[in-house]
Amino acid sequence: MRCAPPDAYLVEGGAVLSGRLRPAGSKNAALPDLAAALLTESPVVLRNLPAIRDVESMLALLESIGVSVERREDGIELRAAAIDPDRIDLELCRSIRASILLAGPLLARCGHLRLPPPGGDVIGRRRLDTHFLALEAMGARLEASDGAYSFGTSGLRGARTLLDEPSVTATENALMAAAVAEGTTVLYNAACEPNVQDLASMLSSMGASIEGAGTNRIVVTGKGSPLSGCVHSVAADHIEIGSFIGMAACCGGEIRIEGVSQDIVAPTMGGLGRLGVEVRFDSGDLVVPSGQGLRVLCDRGGAVPTIYDAPWPGFSPDLTSTAVVVATQARGTVLVFERCSRAGCSSSTSSWPWGPRSSSAILTE
């Protein structure tokens, strides 16, 4: 592949792609992990952070409120010994979706903050109500005025909370707040995604008591005080792993992906496996063998199978496009269907409860 003009790439196909690689840290795990550093005055060292703009923006946001950020060879050290939420960079907040993840830890640590609506990608309506309801259940007060949200509390307390949707970031916000609240918090209908599990692992290493991460019922026994520091490695990005599996399957070579657990790959293979993609595990690595004979696996009776996305442990919506590309190289017919929850759809265009943003394609040999 050789570079064309700066805004384009010229790709010369036909090459067999093979090799060995280590997946980057997950963006969706790194951002809440960075926010969790606010829950302690002690140093927090994060390793395996992905080198992406969202991470740099989050670091800049933390620095704007007084967090010390030191870049080391083995990761980034953060120290939130003296922070002031009133100094937060509001423009940066408006540029990144993950700024909402500061609500839980800053409210728990400082008792107040003011945030504008978060920015980031616009993919239909992305509601924040689940965040607000979870924090209010623990004793937060919320006011909306002048295009921003003002949070306050006289002290967070544990609560039994049914999240009105399994929002990943709302689950993460609630986890961080509950970790230092007084008493026990039970989150029902919690998100189960790997990044939620990664955050729970980090909080546990900081002294939090968390049970049930990775299920839809999480129990947090709050400390009622700040947590301790820790050294934590951000989990591998399961979306990147799935993308490389699809690439290897289509391009004919053998690829070895280092340090991949079977649990994190199982949902991905639930979709790609229906297209005949095969993988194996060898000494802690995932291997995509060369010469894949891609063939759609029909349902019983020869019916056309369907691949559709769903919350974890379902097939990730971020891998739908990968599945479509792999399907074009497989023999047989498959229906690829994208669904989404009300959180990702505009309710103004359809009364159907799952929203209008869905697409399907039938792909044949």
Active site residues: 121
- Pairwise CA distance, residues 204 & 227, whole Å: 9
Structure tokens at 56: 């740099």
Beta pairing partners, 78? 44, 69
**Residue of 224, 274, 221 lying closest to 246 (CA atoms):** 274
The size of the chain, in residues, is 365
Structure tokens at 60: 């800049």
- Of the CA atoms within 13 Å of residue 32, those in its CB half-sphere come to 26
Residue 341, phi then psi, degrees to nearest 5 = -85, 175
The Cα-based distances of 333 to 270, 359, 365 in angstroms read 17, 16, 7
Residues 6+ apart with CB under 8 A from 180: 39, 108, 109, 156, 208, 222, 223, 224, 225, 226, 227
Beta pairing partners, 336? 307, 361
- Pairwise CA distance, residues 319 & 122, whole Å: 19
214 DSSP 8-state letter: T
- 312 touches 194 (CB < 8 A): yes
- Pairwise CA distance, residues 325 & 183, whole Å: 49
Angle formed at CA 166 by CA 92 and CA 322, multiple of 5 degrees: 75
- Pairwise CA distance, residues 273 & 278, whole Å: 6
- 269 touches 316 (CB < 8 A): no
**Residue of 129, 164, 125, 163 lying closest to 347 (CA atoms):** 125
Angle formed at CA 201 by CA 140 and CA 56, multiple of 5 degrees: 75
- Pairwise CA distance, residues 359 & 342, whole Å: 15
